[in-house]
């Protein structure tokens, strides 16, 4: 799925990008709430915004919890909104397993914070019109989600 991640900003009327820090629970969710706010200001349909907000939040939290940090990029195009999440590893050993509802490697400390139900990735796929994941163990995880507007 290498080709699926190609970030094509041709025709993007707007581009947003936010860094996501590893283990920074005080700021976790900040990027997705900024994205939600901006899409509201642009007058995007509230049902679509809701789905983008849920999926972006889940992706952002995964970077905070499971990765060494990363970034989230949003392109607003005339016919769609694209959200890209890239992190700095460690990557996912078995992507198909990670996509399974209920699968989680979250520690008990993370579960006590209310995360680790193993529902984030399945929810992202369910909430988006197009969903791509590409991960290599020892390298990084990259997600692309698209919503038609
Ligand atoms: N960015 C990532 N980097 C490394 N591993 C990840 C990443 N995102 C997800 N994973 C792996 O995939 C598993 C499933 O992710 P998913 O978001 O579905 O569940 P969770 O984060 O464990 O729990 P929940 O999202 O319900 O709080 C994670 O437990 C983790 O092992
Ligand atoms: Mg998750």
> What's the rounded Cα separation, in Å, for the pair 31 and 52?
12
Using a 6 Å cutoff on CB, does residue 81 contact ligand 1?
Answer: no
Q: Which residues pair with 14 in a beta bridge?
A: 76
Check pLDDT > 80 for residue 3. Answer: no
Q: What is the mean pLDDT of the chain?
A: 96
Mean pLDDT of the region 52-77: 98
Tell me the pLDDT tens digit for each residue of 89-111: 999 999 999 999 999 999 999 99
The 3-state secondary structure of the chain, one letter per residue: CHHHHCCCCCCEEEEEEEEECCCCCCCCCHHHHHHHHHHHHCCCCHHHHHHHHHHHHHHHHHHHHHCCCEEEEEEEECCEEEEEEEECCCCCCCHHHHCCCCCCCCCHHHHHCCCCCCCHHHHHHHHCCEEEEEECCCCCEEEEEEEEC
Q: Within 10 Å of residue 115's Cβ, how many Cβ atoms?
A: 22
Check pLDDT > 90 for residue 5. Answer: no
Tell me the pLDDT tens digit for each residue of 13-30: 999 999 999 999 999 999
Mutation probe of ligand 1 site: the residue of 120, 131, 133, 137 with most atoms within 8 A of C-beta: 120
> What's the rounded Cα separation, in Å, for the pair 73 and 64?
16
Rg of the Cα atoms in the chain: 15
Tell me the pLDDT tens digit for each residue of 110-135: 999 999 999 999 999 999 999 999 99
Using a 6 Å cutoff on CB, does residue 116 contact ligand 1?
Answer: yes
CB 71 within 8 A of CB 83: no
Structure tokens at 97: 């397993």
Place of tokens 């193993």: 118
CB 77 within 8 A of CB 11: yes
Protein residue closest via CA to atom 19 of ligand 1: 118
Global pTM reads 0.96
């Amino acid at each position: 799925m290498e080709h699926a991640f190609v970030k094509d900003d041709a025709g993007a009327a707007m581009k947003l990008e936010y860094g996501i820090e590893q283990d920074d629970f005080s700021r976790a969710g900040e990027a997705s709430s900024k994205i939600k706010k901006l899409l509201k200001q642009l007058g995007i349909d509230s049902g679509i915004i809701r789905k983008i907000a849920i999926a972006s939040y889940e992706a952002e939290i995964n970077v905070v919890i499971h990765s060494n940090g990363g970034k989230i990029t949003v392109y607003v195009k005339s016919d769609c909104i694209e959200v890209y999440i890239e992190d700095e590893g460690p990557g996912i050993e078995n992507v198909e397993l990670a996509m399974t509802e209920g699968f989680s490697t979250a520690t008990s400390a993370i579960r006590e914070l209310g995360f680790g139900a193993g529902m984030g990735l399945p929810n992202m796929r369910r909430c988006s019109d197009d969903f791509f994941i590409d991960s290599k163990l020892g390298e990084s995880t990259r997600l692309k989600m698209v919503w038609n507007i």
